[in-house]
Structure 1
């Protein structure tokens, strides 16, 4: 599902216009992004947790030259699904 399809589905389910749904979805994504940038966790109960994960520096190999190199430590966004979301994906939507 692409973002445009997601926005259309949100608009349909909520009965608002696609334009308004786009504003809501964009605002939600902005809030999550800003909180992660500030180093905070974003917990959406029943869905999951967005957080910043730190990768340690490590040794790697340049594939072109086969030369050993150090890959610097970095921060990356991560998502952990809640147990209820995991269960829903495993079993499908209850009918």
Structure 2
């Protein structure tokens, strides 16, 4: 499902116009991104939680040449599914 399909599904489920569904989705994405950028955790009970973790620097290997390369440390976004979401997927 891409963003346009998700907007259509939200509009149909919530009985909103597509424009309102797009505004709601864009607001959710922006708010969640801003919170994660500050280092906050975003938890949606039953759905899951988004958090930021620090990934340490490490040595990797170039798959084409086999030569070792240095991979810099960086922050990554993690998602942990909630119990309700996990139950629905199974």
- TM score, norm. by length of structure 2: 0.91
The secondary structure found in structure 2 opposite 1:16 is coil
**Distance in structure 2 (CA, Å) of the matches to 1:9 and 1:67:** 47
Kindly state the Cα deviation for residue 67 of structure 1 after the two structures are TM-superposed: 2.1
**TM-aligned CA deviation for residue 44 of structure 1:** 0.4
Q: In the alignment, is residue 81 of structure 1 matched against residue 81 of structure 2?
A: yes
Structure 1 counterpart of 2:23: 23
User: 1:93 aligns to what?
Assistant: none
Deviations 1:1-28 (A, max 9, x none): 1111111111111111100110011000
Structure 1 stretches lacking a partner, 5+ long:
91-95
Q: Which runs of 5+ in 2 are unaligned?
A: none
**Partner residue, 1:43:** 43
The 2-side partners of 1:7 and 1:40 are apart by 26
Say what the alpha-carbon RMSD is for the aligned residues. 1.1
Instruction: Determine helix, strand or coil for the equivalent of 2:66.
Output: coil
Shift of 1:68: 1.8
